[in-house]
Chain A
Amino acid sequence: MNAVSRALTDGWVITKRNLIKIKRVPEVLIFVLISPIMFVLLFAFVFGGAINPGDGVSYKEFLIGGIFAQTVVFGATFTGAGLAEDMQKGIIDRFRSLPMSPAAVLVGRTTSDVVYNVLSLIIMALTGLLVGWRIRDGALDALAGFGLLLLFAYAISWVMAWVGLLVPSVEVINNASFIVIMPLTFVSNAFVPIQSFDGVLRTIVEWNPVSALTQAARDLFGNLPPGETVSDAWSLQHPALYTLLWVVGILLVFVPLSVRQYRLASSK
């Protein structure tokens, strides 16, 4: 068996192990699913009247793409926290003393977190439909939108995996990811239209991959004002491609970095 197929075979064993936890501790899942509902409702009703994203599109419609992006990116915190917990409990030592693929624990963790994100996307989409969000382009486009969200979240998972192995403390991971992910998602077009940013901040927002992800999702769901050019930046002219470039870039850097960190990881 070569290294990749072993990483996948062993990774699947770890994925199943992580999924059993969802079954045994459903409270965690409920918590994961309630927060996106809360976000959709809060933003839709609190800011719904105050922000006008452009003619022909309601804020609720505009908002959902941003909420999707923010939630799946935040979901990566789970990856970091899960690995930190495994480190603290010493089970990483058990895994590291086994003749298994050194990538398996990471492959398994990031894969099982895709399942979390799929579930939260379903819940958010249903909540969105309730408050007036609609998929206005074809179903295939919409699926591509969900796929892009999951891909980007998967890449961010590998970043958090590295952090989780580097700083094996669940508390630190939660706070650290908040400090990084909060600005990343708020300094973007996720919640407010890009026109409302000026100067340097506008440039940052335009090249923030979360903006491109959000833009691509809105585009694929048909939630953009028709015919309007929101930005001349290349990143937002080709948001799906720009997002995919980030996904590839992040994975190329953080997969090897995380696997290396796993090999060095020493729990106690």
Chain B
Amino acid sequence: MAVAGNDGDEGVDELTEMISATGLVKRYKNVEALRGLDLSVPEGKVLALLGPNGAGKTTAVRILATLIKPDEGTAVVAGRDVLNDAEGVRRSIGLSGQYAAVDEHLTGFENLEMVGRLYGLGGVASKARARELLERFDLSDAGDRPSKTYSGGMRRRLDLAGALVAAPPVLILDEPTTGLDPRSRQQMWEVIRELVGAGSTLLLTTQYLEEADKLADDIVVIDHGRQIARGTADELKSQTGGERIEVVLVDDGDRDAAVAVLGQVATGEVQSGDSERALTAAVTGGADSLSQVLAGFAAGGIAVLDIGLRRPTLDDVFLSLTGHATESDTDSDAGSAGGEGA
């Protein structure tokens, strides 16, 4: 835990670490869910923990949220040790899990008011805070309906609102958009961005590279309970070759002409694909590159069977980092059922 310059002789410290974990190990019966994970999140920053099911993300979250104890290692959240001062940690965090932990028989308002009272805010403040959060999360109209009647996205928002009741300095979000439809996911992202804009420190877990890319300052990729890469989204993408355009031609006679068109936008050599008629070009311009290529093909009379812009996915990241895809390792899934909630 870096306590910013409280000795006076450290000069200007770097940013205060709001979450810092060292050597976390957690074993379940015959599986090691975490095998020595280190994490650090500076104040006001967002760290994404990226990995497939069974990688140990939820286990890490549960340790940081004081729900389980690590077998080895230490973790300090907002200056409090998760082992020695669990209550202090709980005062400083808001947790929103992948299973929206709202009481379905209570209304949205009652859920939030209850959480406020359990934080010790008192009746008046709890009620006021509940109304304020319902307003902010676009749930005012539904606030007096039992949350059982809510859509998946609404429940998630209510759950997230619950994590914010006491305005904690650290937020821990476990797969906040898993299972949501694209529109609800977009809404959730907007909400999370606002929170970060307001200065919260955030640790989020996700299976989606896109999500980590959109929300996080820093990404830790984990697999089998271990960090396998760390960096910004751009750094990770550059490791995986970034985005690319994939083309399948109708006629392999057009191959040279197509390579020339692709060459104008490609960042490297245009590669052959699976067959003579398939080509792949790494690009950086996204959709602009794609329309440029399409225009070039149209001008040259090159017919294509299929063309698309491929963005690197978690699979690509995994493939390039580990040499294997994000397999659903049955051992690790079964073993982590105790901690991962897969």
Contact = CB atoms under 8 A, between A and B. Distances in A.
A263 to B, nearest CB: 9
Contacts of A20: 105-106, 110
Contacts of A266: 62, 67-68, 338-339
Interface stretch (B44-52, B85-93, B237-245): B85-93
B101 A94 contact: yes
A91 B119 contact: no
B66 A97 contact: yes
Contacts of B91: 99
A202 interface: no
B107 to A, nearest CB: 9
Interface residues of B, number: 35
Interface residues of A, number: 23
B175 to A, nearest CB: 12
Interface in A218-268: 266-268
Contacts of A21: 105
Interface in B98-142: 99-106, 110, 114-115, 117-120
B115 A94 contact: yes
Q: Is chain B's interface secondary structure helix, strand, loop, or mixed overall?
A: loop
A99 B92 CA distance: 9
B152 interface: no
A104 interface: yes
A97 B114 contact: no
Contacts of A90: 97, 99-101
- Chain A interface, >50% SS class: helix
B222 interface: no
Nearest to A91: B101
Given A24-B146, A99-B91, A266-B68, A93 B118 contact: no
A136 interface: no
B21 interface: no
A268 B101 contact: no
Interface in A86-128: 89-91, 93-100, 104
Given A96-B66, A96-B67, A268-B99, 10 more contacts: A10-B118, A17-B114, A89-B99, A93-B101, A94-B95, A94-B115, A97-B65, A97-B66, A98-B115, A99-B118
Interface of B: 58, 62, 65-68, 87, 90-91, 93, 95, 97, 99-106, 110, 114-115, 117-120, 146, 159, 162, 337-341
26 contacts: A13-B117, A17-B106, A21-B105, A24-B146, A89-B99, A90-B97, A90-B100, A93-B95, A94-B115, A95-B118, A96-B67, A97-B67, A97-B93, A98-B115, A98-B118, A98-B119, A99-B87, A99-B90, A99-B118, A99-B119, A99-B120, A266-B67, A266-B339, A268-B99, A268-B337, A268-B339
